Amino acid sequence: MPLHLAHCHVNFPRNRGRAPEVLDAVDEATVRYGLDVTLDSYPYTASATYLAAPLPSWIQEGGAAATVARLRDDEVRARVLHEIEVEGTDGNHGVPLDWSTLFVTGVGDPALSWAVGSSVADLADRRGGKPGELYLDLLVVDGLRSGCLMDVGNEENVRTIMRHSSHTAGSDGILVGARPHPRGWGTFPRYLGHYARDLGVFTLEECVRHLTSRAARRLGLADRGVVHVGAVADLVVFDPDTVAAGATYQEPRRAPVGIEHVLVGGEFTVRDGRRTDRLPGRSVRRGVSR
């Protein structure tokens, strides 16, 4: 059975510098045992999820309403906070949570907009009280709808993983809330500009392969990710000297720069640096990508 490790990030301070261990395991599986193993990553140290993600799984049984009801009980709250802050929950990979790394990106209730853009630790400092209690109060009042960033990555690991021969780029994210993760807008130009051109993590040509043909091959899409007669005309024309991600954590929806044209199935969706009104993209499946 082929295996693809999505979001292959080796996070948290305790794992700094340990990406080679993961890659050695991948190499052993592919070289020694002949298994089909690949991986992907996004070029940022912060991850994106829902604010409720660090909760232990036992409290989330039965859905959001049941979870919120349990979080109103003082004894349950105390147990949850002990697991989150001291033991480490299965929702946070068994690692105790550092409140300074957990940032609110969006809320369902507009009355809670004061929380967006700040870490739970900073919010607690400004409003008084303990960060854990503020965190649980936010979850209850917003009905578990809040989103968050978790800045727990290691830049050294990010660069090490993206160099691997089985690596492809990923950009998946939760694109809702006032400040979602910038990877939804900046992933691919950030690879091309910051990591290939500015840092020289890999050559431009190798970077392009990570973003195109290698990903298409992993998905079994033989007529995509390459430029030749008969292939689907999914094309990006960019300036290698200027291409860069415009999106930031503060302004995550900013468009990239240095991208002149984008064609999807032969139709311009970006022309001369400006978006058109065309929306030709659609889902594709292996063997029926046209």
Distances (CA, A) of 117 to 103, 154, 275: 6, 21, 28
Q: What is the pLDDT of residue 287?
A: 61
Strand partners, 104: 148
CA distance 102 to 117: 10
pLDDT, tens digit, 9 for 90 and up, residues 214-245: 999 999 999 999 999 999 999 999 999 999 99
Residues comprising the chain, all counted = 290
CA distance 206 to 227: 15
Question: Domain limits of the chain?
Answer: 48-151, 175-290
Q: In the structure encoding, which two tokens stand for residue 42, read together?
A: 């996004």
pLDDT, tens digit, 9 for 90 and up, residues 143-190: 999 999 999 999 999 999 999 999 999 988 888 899 999 999 999 999
Distances (CA, A) of 195 to 41, 76, 168, 224: 13, 45, 14, 24
Q: What is the pLDDT of residue 199?
A: 98
pLDDT, the chain, mean: 96
Q: What is the pLDDT of residue 172?
A: 84
Cβ atoms of residues 19 and 8 within 8 Å = no
Residue 290 has pLDDT above 80, yes or no: no
> Is 150 in a helix, a strand, or coil?
strand
Distance of CA 137 to the CA centre of its chain: 26
Confidence tier at 289 by pLDDT (50, 70, 90): very low
CA distance 121 to 119: 5
Strand partners, 102: 150
Q: Which residue has the higher pLDDT, 90 or 288?
A: 90
Residue 288 has pLDDT above 60, yes or no: no
